[in-house]
């Protein structure tokens, strides 16, 4: 009988184990739900006051973390905006950086020095009677004597040039057109921006040195030297309000290889006037 009871006990134990396996394992593979993966503790905590203190500290930290998470998730929490991105200083030959004005871009251009009170006025000759009319700009400008000659105006509205020298890459040029840059509140600032724009029509690496600055009737005049490497040119811009939608610009430049015509720059500066 003992053998029978022992066999029944073994059979009952096997059946109980089978039931336990059925309860623990899911019926289908898709029934397995992934849970958070936690690292096992380094050592089992021992019983006693020390363990209770450790447990209390852990519970306090968990409560603090939970409160912090709840606070950050609250919709009424004030969010501090991110600091604005630093402005990019504009560089020559590029479009304006966001937030910069045309004059700020001018002041950031190392090719154009500050126009100070040390820059003097210049004496201007009597204006020429022979003029070229630019009706788009509303200006009458001097018609320069030989060796200057009229040339195809595009992309300007009038153009006069000096003969091209053999082996030379630049030559004297006198042009007019509506102001090709943004008009400023003062004619002086408009002339400064126009002078910077004229560097597009000088050799690469050109830089300005101011020679004269003064008001003219309905506008402003600047005379300057442009250096590029070992060579240079004399140039001038005259910005005058000719009654059109934009002021008119007269721009003349003469390289040092044609310095005999440098005196014509003063003729241009004195001879620009409103057409009428």
In terms of C-beta density within 10 A (0-12 exposed, 13-18 middle, 19 or more buried), how is residue 203 classed? middle
Neighbour count for residue 221 (Cβ, 10 Å): 25
Q: Give Cα 33 distance to the centre of its chain.
A: 53
Paired tokens of 126:
């009597």
Paired tokens of 200:
């597009």
pLDDT at 276 (0 to 100): 78
Contact of 138 with 242, CB cutoff 8 Å: yes
Q: Which phi and psi (to 5°) does residue 24 adopt?
A: -75, -45
Burial 78-117 (b: 16+ CB within 10 A, else e): eeeeeeeeeeeebeeeeeeeeebebeebbeebeebeebee
- The C-alpha R_g of the chain, in whole angstroms, comes to 43
E strands, 135-186, are: 139-142, 149-150, 158-161, 173-178
| 18 Rama class: left (phi>0) / alpha (psi -120 to 50) / beta | alpha
| Bond into 218 cis (ω within 30) | no
Residue 46 Cα distances to 52, 54, 55, 58, 102, angstroms: 9, 10, 11, 15, 75
Paired tokens of 178:
């509506």
Contact of 213 with 121, CB cutoff 8 Å: yes
pLDDT at 19 (0 to 100): 40
pLDDT at 128 (0 to 100): 85
Strand order in the sheet with 149-150: 149-150, 158-161, 173-178, 248-255, 231-240, 219-228, 207-216
Three-state SS sequence of 49-96: HHHHHHHHHHHHHHHHHHHHHHHHHCCCCCCCCCCCCCCCCCCCCCCC
Contact of 268 with 125, CB cutoff 8 Å: no
Per-residue pLDDT of the chain (276 residues; tens, 9 = 90+): 445 445 545 455 444 444 443 333 333 333 223 333 333 344 444 444 444 444 444 444 444 444 444 444 444 444 444 454 444 444 444 455 566 899 999 999 999 999 999 999 999 999 888 999 999 999 999 999 999 999 999 999 999 999 998 888 899 999 999 999 999 999 999 999 999 999 999 999 999 999 999 999 999 999 999 999 999 999 999 999 999 999 999 999 999 999 999 999 999 999 999 997
């Amino acid at each position: 009988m003992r053998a029978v009871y022992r066999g029944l006990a073994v059979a009952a134990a096997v059946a109980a184990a089978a039931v336990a396996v059925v309860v623990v394992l899911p019926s289908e593979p898709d029934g397995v739900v992934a849970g958070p993966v936690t690292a096992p503790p380094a050592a089992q905590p021992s019983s006693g006051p020390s363990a209770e203190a450790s447990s209390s500290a852990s519970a306090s930290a968990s409560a603090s973390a939970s409160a912090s998470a709840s606070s950050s998730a609250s919709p009424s929490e004030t969010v501090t905006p991110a600091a604005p991105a630093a402005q990019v200083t504009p560089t020559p030959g590029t479009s304006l950086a966001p937030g910069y004005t045309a004059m700020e871009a001018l002041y950031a251009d190392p090719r154009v020095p500050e126009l100070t009170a040390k820059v003097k006025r210049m004496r201007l000759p009597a204006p020429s009677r022979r003029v070229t009319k630019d009706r788009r700009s509303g200006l009458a400008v001097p018609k320069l004597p030989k060796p200057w000659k009229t040339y195809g105006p595009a992309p300007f509205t009038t153009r006069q040039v000096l003969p091209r020298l053999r082996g030379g890459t630049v030559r004297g040029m006198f042009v007019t057109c509506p102001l090709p840059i943004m008009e400023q509140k003062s004619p002086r600032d408009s002339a400064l921006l126009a002078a910077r724009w004229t560097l597009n029509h000088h050799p690469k690496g050109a830089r300005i040195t101011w020679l004269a600055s003064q008001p003219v009737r309905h506008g402003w005049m600047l005379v300057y030297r442009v250096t590029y490497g070992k060579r240079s040119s004399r140039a001038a811009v005259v910005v005058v309000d000719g009654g059109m939608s934009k002021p008119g610009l007269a721009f003349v430049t003469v390289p040092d290889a044609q310095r005999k015509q440098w005196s014509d720059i003063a003729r241009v500066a004195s001879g620009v006037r409103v057409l009428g």
